[in-house]
Every structure is written in structure tokens, then in C-alpha cells.
Amino acid sequence: MPHIIEMIDIIKDFPGIRANDRVTLQVEQGSIHALLGENGAGKSTLMSILFGLYQPDSGIIRVRGKEVAIHDPNVANELGIGMVHQHFQLVHNFTVTENIILGIEPRKGLVIDRKSAAARVRKISELYGLNVDPEAIIENISVGMQQRVEILKMLYRDAEILIFDEPTAVLTPQEIHELMHIMRRLVQEGKTVLLITHKLKEIKEVADQCTVLRRGKYIGTVPVAETSEARMAEMMVGREVNFHVQKKPAEPGDVLLRIECLNVRNPKGLLGVKNLSLEVRRGEILGVCGIDGNGQTELVQAITGLTPVESGKILLKGMDIAHVSVKERFSCGLGHIPEDRHKHGLVLDFRLDENLVVHNYNRKPFAQGFVLDFKSIRTNANRLIAEFDVRCGQGPATPTRSMSGGNQQKAIVAREIDLSPEVFIVAQPTRGLDVGAIEYIHTRIIAERDKGKAILLLSLELDEVLDVSDRIAVIYGGEIVGLVNASETDENELGLMMSGSIRKAV
Ligand SMILES: Nc1ncnc2c1ncn2[C@@H]1O[C@H](COP(=O)(O)OP(=O)(O)OP(=O)(O)O)[C@@H](O)[C@H]1O
Ligand SMILES: [Mg+2]
């Protein structure tokens, strides 16, 4: 098979860091090629170079055997290269078709020919089994569907090489399954797929080849069918990885968080959480699992005070906090790792050290009266950077926006775990993290448990819920339909409860 893409000896420097250090990537036409590497290894940078968003400092790029200079994304488009970004770039009150033809509207005389555009969208959608309604308004369709619109946008522009940067991070297991199917369809039709993912299972499932990067360097390219997950993990991290965390049985104490008959409305005005009750004890981790959109977000937002409570109680160490301010809740011992790192987690325009003290910059040791103590703010950042292995080019002074997605996530997790709250609401803590980082974060969450904290863990990753939790509550349609011991259940049983097929309480 000829190489449709060749990137040879690519170097890309950013302030304080060589993001790509003589990286080579050779991609066969008609294959699915995975890109694997730790957070900050340089995967997104390499793909941004291929898509013309960054210029390499040196190196050669060949597309279909011909050397090219990809000055900007327009050149990439002309070469048939398309990219689906992690944050979709869709206009929410436009239809699917309007979004797809944006910027390249087909015309009949002076009027835009929406009809023929819609027909073409429908045809492409059918060919690849995308199942997208060309007339639907973006804000009314699911995240998974929005992603397909982005895929359609590339196909509509005749892209031959499709780059996906962590496409499954925001999808439900069902949607992931469907996306894998779509990718296979794409290569059957002669397209080439480049896939960045941290999930080895996904690589095993769909990819033909896998290229591994570590700290900006090229480690190797392996045929996926002949390489184990453990081997790929080892290549990327440089050591063996424990996929399952070690933990002692829980020693639960008194109840620190008790939720009684909670009702919460969702943005549509319907009850997202219905008459929900649960309790979390000191020294235990209660995992909550469910298919995305079954009330998890409303539950977290109600506990942390981001959404008003319709009725019911939230008792923190016996005190009802259901109607007190966010600030008061946190001063009573509540802590929170938010699921949306951009909305509630980080201020991207701040420096890393500033983001690491957003909760306590006005207190000792970070402030003396009204005066900030920059030295202790920096020391704090250096300590967390080392403990959590946050990769950042310029240390404490790194602009947060310039950090890789996974390292931004590590920064939030570091900040919140370090506060060591008594009642800890942990939502999607390892989204976008590499396997090594996941291993470490899990260990730290369990260490908090063993210090006697009460932890409520929400995750869409079943493996994570099963591995880390002591007990598991299953949420379906805003209600708890199952409550089981983690050691006495499995993916199958959880799946049945998550789809509302069975109920169970021990
Ligand atoms: N625009 C930028 N300015 C400065 N530094 C940058 C910029 N983009 C990336 N970097 C740095 O380059 C390095 C590689 O980042 P990149 O985003 O490519 O990593 P990644 O492999 O995609 O990681 P992740 O798995 O966390 O997404 C990181 O250390 C990051 O801080
Ligand atoms: Mg990335």
C-alpha cells in the first residue's frame, strides 16, 4: 500500500517546549491509523501541522507522494485533508445542511440552492450510514449527532483523509460503538482515517496501525492486530502500567452526605432528577453510573449549587445545604471536580499557578491581607506540577490556554484533590487522560477515601466506576434504579440497570 501521508522529521517548538521532536508518521491509504501518547506528547500538535493550523519549524510533509507546504487549513482542504475538532464548530440555531454548506453555498443564479445541497447531504449521510436528518436544527440534536455533522462537513468537501482528535471523549458507549462502525465504513469507501485516542480498547477495535509518541519523540509504529494493549501502553509511558488499581476494602464510617427525595429540573424544565435519595459515608466511594443524560449532571449541579433544587434535602454532615450559596457549601467542606473543564474548571486566560489557587488566593499563605504572595503561589504550583506530573512548557507561568487538553484536566484534578474536601463530588475525573495519569488519579482518589473522606464519583466510564468505587448506584431517568456492591457486580448487570431493564438493591 502506498503512503498517502508522510510526515518526516517534524520539529515544532513552543515557548519552553519542543512539542514535536523529529517525529515521523507514515500512513497507508485506506487504513485507520491511531496516534497514541501521553498527555502533552505532541499528538494534537502533529495533527494541527497536518491540517495547516501550525507551521513546523522543520521537516517534510508529503501527501500522495508529493511534497507540500500546508500554509493554512484551506490548503489542507484542497489536499483533501479534514479534521474533526474536540470542540465542534457548529452554529447552533442553523440546520444541519446550513452548517454543512456554510462558506461554500451552492447557488442557482443569485439564490442559495438549499434543496440540492440537502439532497447531497442526505446522499452522503446514507452512503456512510450516518443517519443524519439534513433539516434538523443543531441545538436539538445529541452530541453524537453533532459530531456526525462535522464528519459530513468534511465529506461534503470531498475530504479523503479524516483526522479525529479524541472523538470518543464526549460520546456514550453506544455512540462510540456507532462511530467505530462509521470509521470502518469510511475506509471501505477508500478514505483514510487518523485517530487520536487514549483508549487502547478503541485502538484494538478499529485501528490497523498505531504510532506511539512520548515526550514529543517518535517511539514507533506497530501493527495493532499483533500488539497487545499492555505493550502499547508500555511503549507510550516507558514502563509497565497497572490497569487495575490496588485498594483495601472500604471501612465506612458515619454518613457525611445524605440526599433525601431530591427533585431537580433540567434546562428543558422537566424533572431531570426525580425523588432521588442516597447516602455516602466517611471512608467510602459511591460511584454513580448511567447513560449520559439520565440526571447525573443535574444531580451534581444541585449538590454543588449550580442549579436550584426543586424540592428535597441535601444534608452535608447533617446540615441542609439545598438552598445555601455555592460559597457557603464549599466552606462547609464540600469539594468538586467539575465535568466541564472550560465552563467551571479553569480560566484559560490565567497562568497555571493562578488557576491552581482560584479557591484560596485570598487566604494565607497565598495572601497577606490584601497583598498576594507570589512566591508561595509559585511554590504551590511547582509542588502540584511535580506531584501530578503536569506537563507544561513554562512551569507555573505557563498560559493555561497553551496546555494540552489532558494537562489542563490534570491541573483541575490536582487543585481539587489537594484541597482534600470532606465530601468530594468527583465528575468525569479522567476524561482525556492517558493510562498512566488515570492510574495515578485513581490512586489519589482512593487515598482520599482512606483519609476518611466521603466520595461521590460520577463517570461515564464503566471500567472506572467498577474499579474505583466501593458501592455503585445506577441512575436511569433521574432515579436510582440499582444500588450494588462494586465487588459483586459486573458490566453486564450494570448495563441492564442502566438501560432500565432491571432494578436491584442490596
Ligand atoms: N499553542 C501552543 N502554545 C504553547 N505551547 C503549546 C501550544 N500547543 C501545544 N503546546 C505544548 O506542546 C505540548 C504538546 O501539546 P499537544 O496538545 O500536542 O499534546 P497532546 O499529545 O495532544 O496531549 P493531550 O493528550 O493532553 O491532548 C504540550 O506541552 C503543550 O503545552
Ligand atoms: Mg491533544
Phi-psi category of residue 341: left, alpha or beta, with phi > 0 → left and psi -120 to 50 → alpha: alpha
Residue 343: per-residue pLDDT:
77
Mean pLDDT of 437-452: 96
pLDDT band at 181 (very low <50, low <70, confident <90, very high): very high
36 alpha carbon to ligand 1 midpoint, in Å?
14
CA–CA distance from 145 to each of 141, 267, 268, 298, 340 (Å)?
A: 6, 19, 19, 22, 19
Nearest ligand 1 atom, CA 48:
18
Residue 255: per-residue pLDDT:
98
Nearest ligand 1 atom, CA 38:
25
Ligand nearest to the CA of residue 37, numbered in listed order: 1
Whether this prediction's pTM lies above 0.85 is answered by yes
Considering only CA atoms, which residue is closest to atom 27 of ligand 1?
405
Evaluate if residue 104 carries a pLDDT over 80: no
30: Cβ contacts below 8 Å, ≥ 6 apart: 1, 187, 190, 191, 192
pLDDT digits (tens, 9 = 90+) for 226-266: 999 999 999 999 988 888 888 999 999 999 999 999 999 99
Please report the sign of the dihedral spanned by the C-alpha atoms of residue 13, residue 16, residue 19, residue 20.
Answer: positive
Binding site membership of 404 for ligand 1 (Cβ less than 6 Å): yes
Nearest ligand 1 atom, CA 54:
1
Say if residues 407 and 391 touch (Cβ distance below 8 Å): yes
Considering only CA atoms, which residue is closest to atom 24 of ligand 1?
39
Ligand nearest to the CA of residue 403, numbered in listed order: 1
Considering only CA atoms, which residue is closest to atom 17 of ligand 1?
404
Q: How far apart are CA 252 and CA 248, in angstroms?
A: 12
Considering only CA atoms, which residue is closest to atom 3 of ligand 1?
402
Residue 110: per-residue pLDDT:
66
Binding site membership of 407 for ligand 1 (Cβ less than 6 Å): yes
Ligand nearest to the CA of residue 404, numbered in listed order: 1
pLDDT digits (tens, 9 = 90+) for 195-231: 999 999 999 999 999 999 999 999 999 999 999 999 9
Binding site membership of 391 for ligand 1 (Cβ less than 6 Å): yes
Please report the sign of the dihedral spanned by the C-alpha atoms of residue 369, residue 374, residue 377, residue 379.
Answer: negative
For the chain, which domains are there? 3-237 (3.40.50.300), 255-505 (3.40.50.300)
pLDDT digits (tens, 9 = 90+) for 32-85: 999 999 999 999 999 999 999 999 999 999 999 999 999 999 999 999 999 998
Mean pLDDT of 270-279: 96
Q: How far apart are CA 167 and CA 34, in angstroms?
A: 12
Question: Does an H or E element contain 383, and which?
Answer: helix 374-388
